[in-house]
Structure 1
Amino acid sequence: MADCVFCSIVAEDSPAYRLYEDERTLAFLDIEPATRGHTLVVPKTHYETTTDMPESLAGRVFKTVHRVSDALESVYQLDGFALVQENGVTANQDVPVPHAHIHIIPRYGDDDALDLGWSGERVDETTQQEIAATVRDELASDA
C-alpha cells in the first residue's frame, strides 16, 4: 500500500531499526517505545488487521513474535513482556498505520510504570454461557 508507513519500512524506503526479518515478516523497534526494546512485528505483505491475514501468515507473524520475545527476554533479563495487537480504530489501532502489527512490550517490574489499563467487571454466568455458545456455534460453522 503506497501510503502505509509500515509498507514503506518493509520496502526500505523509510528508516527503521530492524531486529529480525524473514521472507514474510519483519520485526523493528517502535519509534515511540513504551519501554526499552518495544518492538513491532509486521507481515511484509499489507493486511489491515490480523483477521485479514491468511492463517498461515498469522502463524508466521507469531513465530517471529516468539523468536524476538525470546531474544528480548534473554538480552534484558525481563520480568515479562506484554503482547498487544489492536484491530480497528475503536480498538486503538493507529489511524495513520492501518497495517496489522503486534507490539512486544518488555516489562521491567515496577520500574517501567506502563499501564495497559483496562478495568473490567465480572459478568454473570448466564451472559458468559450465552457468549460462549454463540462463538462456539460460529467456530463450528467455519469448520
Structure 2
Amino acid sequence: MIISDEGLSEAASKLPFLEELEISICPISKHAVETIGRSCPLLRSFKFNLQRCKGYVCDDEAVAIAQTMPELRHLQLLGNGLTNEGLQAILDGCHHLEYLDLRQCFSVRLVGNLERRCVERMKNLRHPCDPPHDYEFSAEDLDFWFYPSD
C-alpha cells in the first residue's frame, strides 16, 4: 500500500501514544517524518527502510529524525541516503538509541570517532555493508518500486 505524506501525517496526528512504526518501500518527505516525530512523542522504534535508489544522497530525513524523535531506542534505516553528517545528527539528537541498522546506507562511512561513538553506544549495530538477508523485502521489490516496467 502506498500512502501519501498528507495521509501519513493525518494518521500520525491521531496516534500520540504510538511507540512503533515501520515504513518500507514508500517514499515520504522530511515533512512527514517531522510530523510523525512531533505527533508521536512516545515513539521508541522507527523503521524507515529502502527509501531511495542507490546513489541517492540526502540527510533531510535523518535530520528530521534527530530533531523530532529524541526518545528512539531502535532505528532501522535500511537503504537510506543519509551521510555521516546525518548519522552524526541522529546520534546527537537521539540520546537513548541502542539499536541502529544502517545496512545498505552506502553514503555512510563508519570510521574514526563516528565509528567509535556508534560502537560504544549501540547494543546492536548493523553496518552499511552487512547483508540484509533477514529483511523481509528483496532487492527485486526495490527494483520494481524505483524502476517499474512500462
Per the TM superposition, whether the score is higher than 0.5 is no
Normalized per residue, which structure has more strand?
1
Higher Cα Rg, which structure: 1
Higher relative contact order (CA 8 A, sep 6+): 1
What's the TM-score once normalised by structure 1's chain length?
0.29
What's the TM-score once normalised by structure 2's chain length?
0.28
